[in-house]
Structure 1
């Protein structure tokens, strides 16, 4: 019973972590875009291959 509970708890913890990471991946670009950083500086900080 202890092993089953531990595995179940780890599974829930991983699911919560994946959900939090997914929300961060979705909302982080919007939060960074709303910072008071000029677009020019942001483009230089993240160079894109042409």
Structure 2
């Protein structure tokens, strides 16, 4: 999810489409939250580890 968010950020920046930029930021933030929760041992979306 983090990788997809970064790709969308890059594509949105290059093409100038603000919707891709916004979706990319949201995906990066959600991916980072899931990553932190998974590394702390909390189950994320039914999985014990999220990567």
TM-score by length of 1: 0.49
Which structure exhibits the higher relative contact order, with contacts defined as CA atoms closer than 8 Å and separated by 6 or more residues? 2
Task: Compute the TM-score of the two structures, normalised by the length of structure 2.
Answer: 0.48
- Give the helix-richer structure, 1 or 2: 1
The structure with the largest alpha-carbon Rg is 1
